[in-house]
């Protein structure tokens, strides 16, 4: 009996599909329709959420009452309260007469609030009150009015994330979400894709008096395996495009590929210079900039650690005997202190010529210079590494244990471009 009812609903509202997820959503809508519970319909944009409020309304005791569908995202923030709850004459500039809102004119019926996640917080507070008490106040009025309206809401946003960011009231979510209905995306309903294509192709052919297009088996597989970020709406648009533009009525895989967006076009743009382990989706350019700055800071810290390790190795190689009369202390910006025991005759030594540096031990020995700041030691090491490798920056960066990007930045900072 339930399957028969579901099939009747599909025929009545023009719903195409055989997936269990779709049947389950329709069944929940039929079960909740006779009640007055609020319903929240969730799903990606283009999955067909607008059909389910109509099902709920038509199978409820309010079916003879008014039904209004409001797109909350398309109404300016400054007028949304007036649209929903009405306003008094003179309550704001342009209010030349008293106006009824949707909650007043839909009394005894059903109100479908699409894109409810786009409501401003002040309107959310008003909506919560009318859902809990059935009372509302017009803009510019102090008189409390009553309304008996069944509210069905829909959104394609992740409400949990919106709540965490403070963009959606948690109490309103629980009030709307008395009965949740989730509509699966088209990519999870692969068996429905070819059925929908055939329906759209037939409708388009009938509308424009032309033979309907069909798909080859290979084209069907491509169609079923495409991700469909725009869901049913995108499938319909592509089907209509091919129906009107293509002269051939049999659509091959080659023809179909011309109308499907390239996969990279649907992916978020990633910063190419980020480390592979750090690559992720960014919601704004500011987040990308922050990530770059954090990487630069990490590279600087890595370079400091390299300098510290080299200085410590150099210190450990100096023999402690009766000639050791002086200690040199190097303090970095991160409060790391390295104490080097230095021989008296090495306090002001003659620096070895760059041409005399042949191996890693020679490279480390040149760091035994007293009273060098961390920046001076860093500059000295970079210069020596570049000289050692004849200006080949990649080899120098590998020896220093830093990235080429950091080395380029340090070369510019210390004016070492001529090496």
* Domain boundary assignment for the chain: 2-184, 187-266, 285-413
Which CATH number applies to 187-266?
A: 1.10.8.60
Q: pLDDT tens digits, residue range 198-237? A: 999 999 999 999 999 999 999 999 999 999 999 999 999 9
Q: Give residue 356's pLDDT.
A: 46
The reply to whether domains 2-184 and 187-266 share a CATH topology is no
The pTM score is: 0.62
Q: Residue 374, SS3?
A: helix
Distance CA 282, CA 279 (A): 9
Q: Is the torsion defined by CA of 171, 175, 180, 181 positive or negative?
A: negative
Q: pLDDT tens digits, residue range 210-220? A: 999 999 999 99
Q: Give residue 411's pLDDT.
A: 83
- C-alpha separations of 329 from 31, 69, 388 in Å: 79, 75, 27
Instruction: Residue count of the chain, please give it.
Output: 419
DSSP 403: -
Lowest mean pLDDT among 28-37, 144-153, 258-267, 410-419: 258-267
Distance CA 301, CA 299 (A): 5
| Mean pLDDT for the stretch of residues 154-166 | 94
Is the pLDDT at 113 greater than 80? The verdict is: yes
Average pLDDT, the chain: 82
Distance CA 177, CA 39 (A): 6
Q: Is the torsion defined by CA of 171, 173, 176, 181 positive or negative?
A: negative
Q: pLDDT tens digits, residue range 2-18? A: 777 899 999 999 999 99
Distance CA 76, CA 123 (A): 12
Backbone torsion region of residue 14, taken as left when φ is above 0, otherwise alpha when ψ lies between -120 and 50, otherwise beta:
left
| Mean pLDDT for the stretch of residues 310-330 | 53
Where residue 1 falls among pLDDT bands split at 50, 70, 90? low
Q: Are 178 and 10 in contact (CB under 8 A)?
A: no
| Cα–Cα nearest to 266, from 227, 235, 236, 237 | 227
Which parts of 158-214 fold into alpha helices (H)?
159-164, 170-176, 190-208
| Cα–Cα nearest to 271, from 279, 263, 260 | 279
Neighbours of 361 (CB within 10 A): 11
Q: Give residue 347's pLDDT.
A: 42
Superfamily of chain region 2-184: P-loop containing nucleotide triphosphate hydrolases (3.40.50.300)
Distance CA 123, CA 258 (A): 45
Instruction: Please list the residues that pair with 335 across neighbouring strands.
Output: none
Query: For the chain, how long is the longest CA-to-CA vector?
Result: 106
Q: pLDDT tens digits, residue range 246-301? A: 999 999 999 999 999 986 544 444 444 444 434 444 445 555 665 666 677 777 77
CB-based contacts of 190, cutoff 8 Å, min separation 6: 224, 225
DSSP 7: H
Per the model's pLDDT, the better-predicted residue between 381 and 1 turns out to be: 381
Q: Are 49 and 184 in contact (CB under 8 A)?
A: no
Q: pLDDT tens digits, residue range 19-74? A: 999 999 999 999 999 999 999 999 999 999 999 999 999 999 999 999 999 999 99
Q: Give residue 308's pLDDT.
A: 75
Q: Are 133 and 127 in contact (CB under 8 A)?
A: no
Is the pLDDT at 121 greater than 70? The verdict is: yes
């Amino acid at each position: 009996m339930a399957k028969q009812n579901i099939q009747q609903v599909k025929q009545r509202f023009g719903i195409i599909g055989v997936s269990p997820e779709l049947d389950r959503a329709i069944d929940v809508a039929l079960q909740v329709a006779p009640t007055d519970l609020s319903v929240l319909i969730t799903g990606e944009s283009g999955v067909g959420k607008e059909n389910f409020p109509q099902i709920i309304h038509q199978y409820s005791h309010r079916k003879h009452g008014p039904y209004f569908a409001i797109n909350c995202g398309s109404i300016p923030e400054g007028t949304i309260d007036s649209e929903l709850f009405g306003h008094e004459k003179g309550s704001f500039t342009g209010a030349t007469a008293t106006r009824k809102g949707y909650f007043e004119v839909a009394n005894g019926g059903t109100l479908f609030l699409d894109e409810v996640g786009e409501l401003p917080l002040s309107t959310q507070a008003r909506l919560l009150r009318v859902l809990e008490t059935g009372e509302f106040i017009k803009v510019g009025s102090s008189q409390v009015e009553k309304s008996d309206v069944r509210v069905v809401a829909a959104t394609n946003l992740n409400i949990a994330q919106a709540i965490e960011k403070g963009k959606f009231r948690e109490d309103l979510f629980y009030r709307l979400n008395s009965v949740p209905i989730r509509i699966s995306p088209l990519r999870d309903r692969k068996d429905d894709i070819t059925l929908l294509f055939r329906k759209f192709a037939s409708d388009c052919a009938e509308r424009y008096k032309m033979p309907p297009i069909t798909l080859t088996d290979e084209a069907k597989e491509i169609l079923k395996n495409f991700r469909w970020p725009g869901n049913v709406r995108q499938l319909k648009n592509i089907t209509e495009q091919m129906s009107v533009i293509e002269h051939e009525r049999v659509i091959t895989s080659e023809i179909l590929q011309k109308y499907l967006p390239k996969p990279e076009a649907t992916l978020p743009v990633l910063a190419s210079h980020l480390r592979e382990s750090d690559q992720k989706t960014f919601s704004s350019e500011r987040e990308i900039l922050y990530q770059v700055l954090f990487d630069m800071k990490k590279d600087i810290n890595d370079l400091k650690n390299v300098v510290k390790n080299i200085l410590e190795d150099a210190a450990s190689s100096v023999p402690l005997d009766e000639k050791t009369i002086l200690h040199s202390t190097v303090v970095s910006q991160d409060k790391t202190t390295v104490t080097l025991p230095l021989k008296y005759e090495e306090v002001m030594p003659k620096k070895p010529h760059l041409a005399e540096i042949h191996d890693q031990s020679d490279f480390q020995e040149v760091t035994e210079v007293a009273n060098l700041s961390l920046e001076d030691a860093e500059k000295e090491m970079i210069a020596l590494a570049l000289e050692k490798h004849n200006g080949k920056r990649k080899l120098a960066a590998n020896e220093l244990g830093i990235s080429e990007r950091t080395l380029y930045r340090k070369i510019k900072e210390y004016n070492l471009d001529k090496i």
